[in-house]
Chains A and B, each alone.
Chain A
Amino acid sequence: MTTAAVSSPRDTSPKRKPKSKLRRSITSDTAARITFYIAVVVGWQLVAWQVERMPAPWETLQFIYTELTGGTHGGVVRGQFWEHFLATLQRFSIGLAVGFVLGVILGLAIGSIRFVRSLLNDVLLVFLALPAVIWAFLTVMWFGLGWQAPVYTVILASIPFVAVNVAQGVRSVSPELHLMSDAFQVPRGRRLRNLMLPAITGYLFTGLRFAVIIGWNAVLLAEWFGASNGVGWRSRFWYDAARYRGFLGWVIVFIVFIFVLDGFVLRPLQRHAFRWRERGEDESDLSLDDVVTTGI
């Protein structure tokens, strides 16, 4: 009698499972995202049919393809994609790396030293409020055309976002764990590595993601105004030439780049950093497998 009572709830579970899995896939975050992309493409196509100057998705894709592979279009030589993209990537990476490191140092100081906090609080607020385009204008004024304006724009635009987040992270570190470290006389360096940095990791990633988005924005703006090559410059080139599919094609490139960076670099890094947390929080990212196995 007891065995029957124990086994009966177990028996029902396999029957229910496939249905709930299917339902989970349809309503999962990934499914929602895919639906959104499809809606964007469809909406874009609809607008392109109505508006004469709006290139259709297919034409834009074709443009990106020829920009990648070469050929001519209206007498202009194509196939310069990598030259411009790599130039921008280099400026962006240097600017982001410098901005990130400076932002972390500044954030650690603001978070842990009261004097620095009161000194820089308002300054940081002003920096946060300044749009990247202001930095683009200023750096072009200071450095003229060349690599400096984009790099400095990225640095200046990304620092405050990293600093603010890191400072907040430092202040959120549990005082109990600090007291524990005091009681065991844990040396400073080890405390920084094992207590402070892991505790602020979440804030660090938020800061980094903001910095990436703001920085990418900034580098394109600065190149638009003050460079002689790069993604921003190339976009402007097509815009000035009234080749809208060229302009839009490059816009698509910006967006794809950000998505690839976020999805294939930042998120895996973040997942690695938070592997100590119980699984479940990142389930939405795993649901892609569910979609594949259930054949949606």
Chain B
Amino acid sequence: MATLKVDGLTKTFPPVVKAGKPVRAIRDISFEMSGQVFVSLVGPSGCGKSTLLNIVSGVETPTSGTVSVTQDGKPAWLGYVFQDPRLLPWRTVMQNMLYVSDLEDDEARENARRYLDMVGLADVEDMWPGQLSGGMQQRVGIARAFSVGPDLLLMDEPFSHLDAITARGLRDQLQELWNETKKTVLFVTHDVMEAVQLSTRVITLAHGGVVFDDTKIGLPFPRRVSDPEFAQHQAEILARFEDMEAARAAPAT
């Protein structure tokens, strides 16, 4: 069972201009997640969501605090879905899938096919990424991340570059995929609706990179946006966020 522990995490970037203030991306963030959970990190642009994800994945190092990702006490294996598909344009879909896999044998091929099938792309394995639509490319990106059998799957706003209709279709598909695989997922988004639809837990970050809200979503899957309970969860999170924003905007006394 994969466990992610984030403890007192702070990240400060050097000032952009000389003699300016250092830029604090996230401040003293702590949370823990474990097992078959889909956790969303929600927050406005610039609140440090992606920085947090980069630290978890090891691409960036924290200024202070610790992150540990373990699977039964051992270092965990990570999968990553990016904002853009990040496929090798000169390799076919299948070759892109094999690029990240342990081996390049028939078994790996079978495994790749299984995940391509799950995202509805059974018959494109010999095509070049350039021949696919943006939504299809992103689905390959998702299949790729699932195919490595990650203990923890990190997803960085994977639908933010797609049009609304395509994004909705992919969210439904991701919901199904998660229900089948029950991977531990940390999902970053700025869209509260998306977070409520997909997650078992929503962590909200505020400006300045602090955890502001942490809510469990107990709705059964598959979730429908038109469900009144869905709307209620979404409204509650948004209301708390608006109250916090209003309090921040009010002049200090």
Contact = CB atoms under 8 A, between A and B. Distances in A.
A180 B130 contact: no
B59 A179 contact: yes
A276 interface: yes
A59 interface: no
Interface residues of B, number: 20
Nearest to B150: A184
A264 to B, nearest CB: 24
B95 interface: yes
Contact of A183 (B78, B84, B130): B78
B57 interface: yes
A183 B59 contact: yes
Contact of A194 (B82, B91, B130): B91
B80 A184 contact: yes
A195 B88 contact: yes
Which secondary structure dominates where chain A touches chain B? Answer: helix
Interface string A168-192: 0000000011011111101000100
A172 to B, nearest CB: 13
A57 interface: no
A195 B99 CA distance: 9
B99 A277 contact: no
With most chain A CB atoms within 10 A of its CB, the pick from B59, B78, B90, B131 is B90
B89 interface: yes
B130 A186 contact: no
A276 B59 contact: no
A183 B69 CA distance: 14
B86 A198 contact: no
A278 B88 contact: no
Contact of A176 (B86, B91, B130, B154): B86
Given A194-B95, A276-B130, A176 B88 contact: no
Contacts of B59: 179, 182-183
Given A176-B84, A183-B78, A194-B91, 8 more contacts: A177-B88, A180-B82, A186-B100, A190-B99, A194-B95, A198-B91, A277-B130, A278-B131
